[in-house]
Amino acid sequence: MNVTINRLDPNLPDPVESRRRAAGRLVRIAYATIVFGVLAFFVIYFGAPFVYLGGPGTVSSPRHLVSLPYTVQVSHMNLAPGTTVKAGDEIAEVVSPEQDSIVATYMRALADISGRTAELRIKARVAQESLEATRAYMRVTEEAAEHVGAMSSATVTFRMEVLREAASARKAVVSQEAEVAESAIQLASLMN
């Protein structure tokens, strides 16, 4: 059966055909949106790692000396990610166990030097103060040796004891003078 459709006016649009055309356009737009949406999802999902960085990692930049060449632990960060840093800005506080041990060793050495200095000053003062008494004892023993030498009635044993005391007194004077001089030299070397 052949049916011919005659239109009343060729300039007047057919309502059924208009609905079909509008519905087809809407279906094509929905289909294109779904297809392009799926393509965009795959491009973003698989292509984003090539364009955008995300996740844990290390950001590198030109090296700048931040601390001494000691092992350090960061105790406090003063900046947030993305903050602009200028020269002289404090970035973080760090603690160095190695540097702390070096400072402790240095402080122990200073305490040892100060103890040694005090010990040498005391030694020099004792030697200086007792030097005059030792010299007086040496003069007395030398005078006694001269008197005993002039006496003819003194025994040899007595003369030997007096001479031994005189020699011992000379030795004590020399020892005291050497101790004073050496203490002064050691104090001078500790002060430098």
Q: Dihedral, CA atoms, 159, 162, 168, 174, nearest 10 degrees?
A: -100
Q: What is the DSSP letter of 10?
A: T
The structure tokens listed for 114 are 């100060």
Please name the residue that has the structure tokens 């392009």: 36
Continuous H helices in 52-155: 97-150
The structure tokens listed for 152 are 């003819």
Question: Could you read off the pLDDT of 122-170 as tens digits, one per residue?
Answer: 888 888 888 888 888 888 888 888 888 888 787 888 888 888 888 888 9
Domain parsing of the chain, residue ranges: 113-191
Question: Could you read off the pLDDT of 166-190 as tens digits, one per residue?
Answer: 888 898 888 888 888 888 888 888 7
Question: Could you read off the pLDDT of 44-89 as tens digits, one per residue?
Answer: 888 877 777 667 766 666 766 665 677 777 788 888 777 778 888 8
pTM: 0.43
